[in-house]
Chains A and B, each alone.
Chain A
Amino acid sequence: MEIIMSVLAGILFATGVYNLLQKQLLRIVIGTALISHGAHLFILTMGKLKTGAPPILVKGVEQYTDPLPQALILTSIVISFGVTSLLLVLAYRAATLNKTDNMEELRGSEDE
């Protein structure tokens, strides 16, 4: 199972990176979102899958899944959400100000 999930994470990374290399701003933001999904899946897979009950203590249950990766992912989800929203607004501002969302046209001036 972990191998399948690893491959899925790999696919998410690959498509994310491919989007990141495109020219439209929106695609780049989509790429970052895909990469963060991939990273979350990656972390979850690293903590082993399906080894017990959800990490909510119940009397009588001995085996729980690993709670630490979940805590890490939770933090990461929130942060990537913040970053993604910021990126989106930035993309919106950049596109409206410069009248283009093509990254090749958003290169800055020569003398910078």
Chain B
Amino acid sequence: MAFISSGYNPAKPMEGRVSDIGPRHFGEYLPPVIKDNFGKWDYHEIIEAGILLHVAQSGDKTYTVRAATARLMTVTHIREICEIADKFCGGFVRFTTRNNLEFQVETEEAAKELKAFLNAQKFEGGSMKFPVGGTGAAVTNIVHTQGWVHCHTPATDASGTVKATMDVVFDDFTNMKLPAPVRISMACCLNMCGAVHCSDIAILGIHRKPPIIDHEYLDNLCEIPLAVAACPTGAVRPTKVEIEGKTYKTVAVKEERCMFCGNCYTMCPSLPLADGEGDGIAIMVGGKISNRITKPAFSKVVVPFVPNEPPRWPTLTKVIKKILDTYAAEANKYERLGDWANRIGWERFFEKCDLPFSEHLIDDFRDPAYYTWRQTTQFKW
């Protein structure tokens, strides 16, 4: 397609430039019933999986139908969402903080009709376009990252692993039969964009090999002190190398100190470390962010490595399914996954979930590692 100008003049880039206007005010997009009852809600109920009812002090009711999305979506898909919103909800729709969709209607019949309609929409391959669910004690959408779709530091893929996992746990998205909500999150490297460090179950891309050093280009492309300072274990130091009679300023990596975090690659393009066989996934469990009953908690590593197995990651999904099913069968009502593991003790958690415990799981990072060891005689055989 030939170039079509938007009216921007490259010869006068600052002319007519609009900036610092911020996002649109959310008030412009509120459905009338929400606008009228803003700050005056009385109580809410979950009518059935995927359908919420909110009742206002005035007696006004609104029914919310929650449906999943893949987060990564085309404009065609968004237009389809808009069509549904136009047809059922007066053109209003919203996205949740876990990238689900919410459509709001006025009556229970309309909500159930909309649920049936959404559940009937399918892609050509057979996948549901807008499966309804994600409310209450269920597995809701997976917060995830860019992966091989767009990022340059991933150790695994995001969209792929998430689709494989949601397919396996789909039943728990459309039902509410778990002891408490289970949040699954995914990050493709340990930058941990998103929520992996505070989720009930977390999927995390990891490397297992130190970076490769492009000595000849390093000084040109990188600010060496930044690469040195990027290392959490002090494995990177500045040095000089001689290649074919020419001296280059570069860095040296002490491989026995390197734990393959990839931070130096983030700062310096000449230190790539992605590797087909080396890279894979670590699984963490037991995090939460709410203050309900127990304090918020970080998730803990329970599986140090599962290999990357595109396109369906069978080992990964099997482990997650096993953890989820064991938790669902064993935990008390309202107990989040981490609360359950803490109550029965982590040695029992490993036993019940049939996970091997290895030295990789024992914290060895600086002074705080000590506090993760057991300084008591209280344990179970």
Q: Do they bind each other?
A: no
Residues of chain B at the chain A interface (Cβ within 8 Å): none
